[in-house]
Amino acid sequence: MRYTIYACIIGFVLDLIIGDPHWLYHPVRLIGKLIQIMEKAVRACFPKTKRGELIGGTLLALIVMVVSTTIPLAILVFCYGFDRYLGLAVESVFCYQLLATKSLKVESMKVYKELATKDIEKARCAVSMIVGRDTQSLDAVGITKAAVETVAENTSDGSIAPLLAIVIGGAPLGFLYKSINTMDSMIGYKNDKYLYLGRFAAKLDDIVNYIPARFSAYMMILSALLLRMDAKNAYRIYRRDRYKHASPNSAHTESVCAGALRIQLAGDAYYFGKLYKKEYIGDSMRNIEIDDIKRANQLLYTCAITSLIALLGMKIVVMMGFGLF
């Protein structure tokens, strides 16, 4: 267990330094490929009825979770059995690949750079790579809001939640979390195609993100205080607006971010040409500006670092209590 702590720290630092280089094949892409293969198999084997798709979708999720967890677990058991330092090195790389703090900053800052040069078309293209909404008609304010919302929401999903899983159960539990999160992003839609097939995966994602979303929100409030942002308003907006989203977890960090920056986020958006009515999150105490993308990233990084310290501190205390550290 001590080596898992070291691997978590090393992986966290590697993520902040290296990020997600495009030349390195990411294991989450393998999970995505497995989901695609399983979806085709399930659709071919189960009847296209509500019951058939519910059963098939549940089987799909269970197989993806088992495969995504047991393979890295087997690799680590072999590596640690052969040499503990080899095991530490491999688990460190696994932990690094499970975290997406720097890549979230890098992709959002691409949007910032295009907005700074006032190239709206390139900014729309850049933001389309990190959001699911239609971006063709967004103006500079809409693009900025979309980028800030993505950073805020994914502070939990892309950074704190996998970090929490790694601290608790090492890289294997981190991969289990990533498999669930990836399934939700690929098949967890409430449309005709995935309403029943992806229901189990979507509900499971809601369950596993329940604690991480709330932990992330409070750590982001602390981060706002450390950064001398409006932490009091962040807490106020969080308490008021944390459930203003179709997902029970997604608005938690988004509401904190809106409050800390004293801006208004969310609102109506188009997806695949269809308008979706959404409530606003936060109060428009000032006009949103492109530097809010930078401020959202400051919250992201501070939240990630303080969460690492808090989580590892709690784990070490628990391990010392059982004489394991």
Q: Given its phi and psi angles, is residue 217 left (phi above 0), alpha (psi -120 to 50 degrees) or beta?
A: alpha
pLDDT at residue 25, rounded to an integer:
73
Which phi and psi angles does 265 have, rounded to 5°? -120, 180
In angstroms, the CA 135 to CA 307 distance is 33
Q: Where are the strands (E) in the chain, listed by range? A: 265-266, 269-271, 274-276, 280-281
By the 8 A CB rule, do 104 and 151 touch? yes
pLDDT along the chain (325 residues), means of 10: 90 92 79 95 92 95 97 96 95 95 94 93 90 84 93 94 96 97 91 90 96 97 97 97 89 96 86 78 94 97 97 90 74
Domain extent for 165: 2-321
One-letter identity of residue 33:
K
How many CA within 13 A on the CB side of residue 290? 18
Tokens standing for residue 216: 């992330």
Count structural domains, the chain.
1
pLDDT at residue 70, rounded to an integer:
97
pLDDT at residue 247, rounded to an integer:
85
pLDDT at residue 226, rounded to an integer:
97
Sign of CA dihedral 278, 187, 149, 290: negative
Task: Report the DSSP pairing between strands 280-281 and 265-266.
Answer: antiparallel
| ∠ Cα 81 16 317 (to 5°) | 60
Reduced to 3 states, what is the DSSP secondary structure of residue 276? Answer: strand
